[in-house]
Amino acid sequence: MKRARLVVLALVLALAPTETACSSAKIAGGHTVMPGNEHSGVTLARYTVGKCRDAAGRLHPSSGAEVRLLREVDGKVVLVDARDAYDVIVVENVKSVRGERIFDLELKSAESAPYLREYRLPETGTGPGRFFIIDRFTDKRVGSSFVVAYRRFALDCELDRTAGVQSAGG
């Protein structure tokens, strides 16, 4: 029973971005910005978070997030995760593996154990992606980023590609 409560707490914290203005969250692989202060550039693709399942296969409600793949003015590609009433998460830690762009962000709040948010998007910008909350992982720092090996996910969500890609702006 205690384990089930911890998993539920982890899922609740994972689906809602950390409100860093009022918490002592530690973030690796990106940062947060206030809504309205998002990065500007060219939106390469847009996704909505859909069907989420926990490690036991149980469905969980969607968070209502919009995930954007953005090429900033300096040419850097970042991932932007935005939800109503929360700070916007900007993920900068990215690597390319077998046709996918993999964005990893590690979070540690005062209320939770560290967990990883991983976003997997096709490099072509077409087709669906995946979003994972990973509660058991190891990481290795490599310069200003890190490489992750994980053993178990707590949540697995579909990222459904949406229409309406912008040509410029944020």
Say what the pLDDT of residue 10 is: 40
CA atoms within 13 A on the CB side of 111: 16
**Tokens 């996918």 belong to residue:** 100
Which residues of the chain fall below pLDDT 70?
A: 1-24, 139-151, 164-170
CA–CA dist 13, 95 (Å, integer) = 25
Contacts (Cβ under 8 Å, ≥6 apart) of 73: 40, 41
Say what the pLDDT of residue 69 is: 93
CA–CA dist 35, 146 (Å, integer) = 26
Say what the pLDDT of residue 152 is: 74
Diameter over CA atoms, the chain: 50
98: burial class by Cβ within 10 Å (0-12, 13-18, 19+)?
A: exposed
The first and second tokens of residue 140, run together, are 């290795």
Residue-wise pLDDT for 148-163, tens only, equals 666 678 899 999 998 7
**Phi, then psi, of 7 in degrees rounded to 5:** -65, -45
CA–CA dist 75, 80 (Å, integer) = 15
Say what the pLDDT of residue 38 is: 76
